[in-house]
Structure formats: structure tokens, C-alpha cells
Amino acid sequence: MRHVAAASLLLLLALTPTDSRLPVWQAFEFRDGGVHAVELSAPPAAAPHPAAPHPAVPADWDVTDSALADVTGDGRPEWVLLVWRPWRDWPIQAWLDVASPITGYHDAAGDSCHVIVLDPHDGREIWAGSALPAPMLALAVGDVDGDGRSELVTLEGNYARGRRGPARHIDVWRWNGFGFALDWRSPPGLFHQLRLTERDNSGILVVAVR
């Protein structure tokens, strides 16, 4: 992950338990280009819910997660939505004779997963991504590398397991002015929940998953 020398990123990882015992939490700090195990004094608290709901969306959108935060770096918050909706091909494919590269980007019900950014005041669509090759099952927004700009952190699953997961990877995405570019991807694991929180008032953001 770029910029790790600027600040620290903590990942709190928990493998899915194979019995009735609670998951064992583990914490790792990304610092100076390396990964370092650390201990947390307590499990991270859930992020507070925004005071108002996200703007109205089409009836065929299933919004499975959302965040109200400045993800584009323009100094103003946006609604970042994780949306499942009926798969649609690229319009340009109507004029092409080759198979669409996104044909398989949907679940068994025919729904594809997208990240969509909306204006919080009028619901205007600021940016909408194409169908993702691997669906995101959870998202959070925050500055995880100390550069003063927020990143998009997600749990990555697969369409075969659907929108309930579990996820296999933690991803960190950076807004580049035209969309989101993948900045870091974790090794495979089994993850179900995602949180960002501050650790011990240090200003270091924690990415918590279980």
C-alpha cells in the first residue's frame, strides 16, 4: 500500500470461528512499509449513524451499506452507497460484435454490485461504477494512511456466495479524480463485518473486521 510511511494503518482481523466460541481478534499495524502486530485495549466501537438517511434511490436498488463522508477529497461529504441492482451491460456493447467483458459480473439472481456516490443535498449521482468483477460486502470511509484524505475501505466477496458473504479480502481504494483505484488488498481470509475507528486517541485509524 502506498504512503504507509506517512502514518499507520491498523487492521483488526478475525477468522470465522468453527465452533460456538467468539472470534479471536488480531490487530496489525501497517508502518514503514511493513506489517506489525499490535494489541488493542478494547474492541472497536461501531461508527455512529448519520443524522439523516441517504437520498431516495430507485426501487430496484438494494443498498447494503453506506457512508456519509468526503471520499472525493473536495472538502464536502458525499453519500457512498454499496448497491446491488439488476445487471445491465455497457451500452456500447450494442454496437460491438465481441462478447462483453462484464457478462459474468452478477449473482445467481442476476444482480450486480456497484459503488455509487450521491450528492447528499439533492441525491444527484456524482459517480457510479460499472458492475464490479468481485462484489463488495461492506464499506467504510476514512483516512487510513495519514495523508489527510479519506480512503474507501471494503470487504471483497464473490458472486457465488452472494451479498451475505463471507468476504475473502480487505481492500483499500483511493479516489483518483475519475474513480476509485485499488491501493491495497489483503491476503485471503474470512470476514463478515467492517469498521473504522480511532485507537487510544492516537489519531490512527483502525480497520476492524470479523
Between the CA of residue 15 and those of 8, 10, 57, 65, 141, what are the distances in Å?
22, 16, 34, 21, 23
CB 63 within 8 A of CB 82: yes
pTM for the whole structure: 0.85
Q: State how many domains the chain has.
A: 1
**Which residue do the cell numbers 488488498 mark?**
185
- For residue 199, being part of any structural domain is answered with yes
Lowest mean pLDDT among 15-19, 111-115, 124-128: 15-19
Q: Which domain holds residue 149?
A: 9-44+60-88+104-209
Q: C-alpha 62: how far from its chain's center?
A: 16
> Is residue 52 domain-resident?
no
Q: What is the distance between the alpha carbons of residues 33 and 35, in angstroms, rounded to a whole number?
A: 7
Higher pLDDT, 66 or 145: 66
pLDDT at 182: 94
pLDDT band at 6 (very low <50, low <70, confident <90, very high): very low
Residues β-bridged to residue 29: 10, 36
Q: Could you give the CA distance from residue 89 to residue 56 in angstroms, rounded to a whole number?
A: 24
Is residue 98, in this structure, part of any structural domain at all? no
Q: Is residue 194 part of a domain?
A: yes
120 found inside a domain = yes
